[in-house]
Amino acid sequence: MKNQSKTKQVLIQELVSLRQRIAELEQSESERKRVNDLLQLHSEILAHMVESVHLIRVDDGVIVYTNPRFDSVFGYDPGELVGKHVSIINAPGGKTPEDVANEIIKNLKQAGVWKGEVHNIRKDGTSFWSYANVSTFKHPQYGEVWISVHRDITERKQAEEALKEMEAQYRNLFENANEAIFVAQDGWFVFLNPMSTMMIGYSGKELMAKPFTEFIHPDDREMVINRHSRRMKGEEIPFPYSFQIIHKDGNSKWVEVNAVLINWKGKPATLNFLSDITDRKRAEEVLRKRDIQFKKLSSWVPGMIYQFTKRPDGTYCMPFTTEAIKDIFGCSPQSTIMNSPADKKLSVASAWHR
C-alpha cells in the first residue's frame, strides 16, 4: 500500500513536470514564432528600403549581404557583390579604393562606428557620392559584421560644387573690382573689398572701427545720412548720386554711389558700389570755368561768330553764336533754327560773314 502511495506521488510529480515542460515548449514555440515574424518583418524592411544596405564581415572586409536597393544603385545583379571585398565599391581618386576602405575599417575597429561621405563607383564605371553610416554588431550567421547604410548625395554634392565655383567667381570679382564695394549696416562698415581700403586710404580694420559718416566730407555728410536713412526705411532714392569723401591723407575725393537694400545676417543693410569720379569732376569744373570765360569773351566781340549743325531730321540749328546775332537778326541764339543751308537767314549771315 505504501509502495503504491509512493508510486502515485511520483506519477503526480512527473505529470506536473511534464505539464511544465509542455508549457515551456509552448512558450518557446510562441517565442520562436514571434522571433520568426520579427525577422520576416526586418527582411521586408531591408528589401524595400530606399537606402542601400550591405553587411561586411569584420574578419576580412568581405561583403556578405546586400539589399535589393544596394544592388540596383550600384548596378549589380542580386547577390553578385556577395563575396567581394568592400573596396570594389570605392571610386579611385586621391587615394586608392583599398586605402579608402582600410582607412574606414581602421576607424571602425577603434570606435565601432563611422559616418561620412564616400566616393562610390558603379559596375559600369560611373561614380557618385554617398553618405554612409556604418556600425558594428554580432550576426548569428556571419559573426561580427559592419552594417553600412548608404544614401545617394550626388545631386547635393553637385550643387555644392556649383555653389563653390560660383562663390569663387564672385569672390574674384569682389576682390579685384575697380569699384569700392561694401555693406553698411546701422551706420557702420560691416563688409568691404580691398578697393574700399585703397580708395579711402584706411585699412579694413580702421574703416570698421568708426561710423562710415566719419569718412564723408562735412559739406555732404547731412545729405548722405539723410539719403541712407530714407533708403533703410524702404524709400526710393534716386541713384547714382555723388558726394565727397575724406582720404586718410586729408585730401577730399569725389565719389559716385549706387546702393541697394539687402538683408545682412538677419538685419537690413545696404550694399554699396562706390566709384572714384574725382578726375571727371575736375575735368567738368575746368570745362565749366572755360565755358564761362569763353562766354564772357564772346560777349565782347562786336561781330557775329556762329556755328551751325545739321540735325538727323535734315534741319539745321545754331548751337553757338555770339550775342551780336540779336542785333543783326533780331533773335536770340537759342531760337535761330534753319530748314536748309539755303535759308535766307543763313545766306545773309554767310554774306555778312564774308
* Nearest alpha-carbon partner for 259 in 249, 268, 251, 247: 268
For residues 325 and 244, state if they share a domain.
Answer: no
pLDDT of residue 10: 57
pLDDT of residue 303: 58
* Nearest alpha-carbon partner for 54 in 135, 108, 109: 135
For residues 41 and 63, state if they share a domain.
Answer: no
For residues 11 and 63, state if they share a domain.
Answer: no
Q: Are 120 and 127 in contact (CB under 8 A)?
A: yes
| Secondary structure E strands in the chain | 52-57, 63-66, 113-121, 127-139, 143-152, 180-185, 188-192, 241-246, 252-264, 267-276, 306-310, 316-321, 337-338
Does some domain include residue 83? yes
Q: Indicate the number of domains in the chain.
A: 4
User: What's the CA gap between 336 and 325, in Å, rounded?
Assistant: 9
For residues 190 and 91, state if they share a domain.
Answer: no
pLDDT of residue 332: 54
Domain final residue pick, 253, 281, 309: 281
For residues 11 and 85, state if they share a domain.
Answer: no
Does some domain include residue 97? yes
For residues 69 and 136, state if they share a domain.
Answer: yes
Domain that holds residue 337: 301-353
Q: Are 105 and 97 in contact (CB under 8 A)?
A: no
Name the CA radius of gyration of the chain, rounded. 44
Does some domain include residue 287? no
pTM: 0.52
For residues 68 and 32, state if they share a domain.
Answer: no
For residues 188 and 225, state if they share a domain.
Answer: yes
In CATH, what number is assigned to the domain containing residue 107? 3.30.450.20
Does some domain include residue 168? no
Local confidence pLDDT in tens for the 354 residues of the chain: 445 555 655 555 656 566 666 666 666 666 555 555 555 555 555 555 568 888 889 888 899 988 888 998 999 999 899 999 998 998 888 788 788 888 888 888 888 888 888 899 999 999 999 998 888 888 888 888 888 888 888 888 888 888 888 888 888 888 888 899 999 998 899 999 999 999 999 999 999 999 999 999 999 999 998 888 888 888 888 878 999 999 999 999 999 999 888 999 999 999 999 999 998 888 888 888 877 776 766 666 565 555 556 667 766 665 656 666 556 555 554 444 444 444 444 444 443 333
Q: What are the residues whose beta carbons fall under 8 Å from the beta carbon of 89, sequence distance 6 or more?
A: 74, 81, 97, 120, 121
Cα 12 versus chain centre, distance: 84
All three cell numbers of 335, joined, read: 531760337
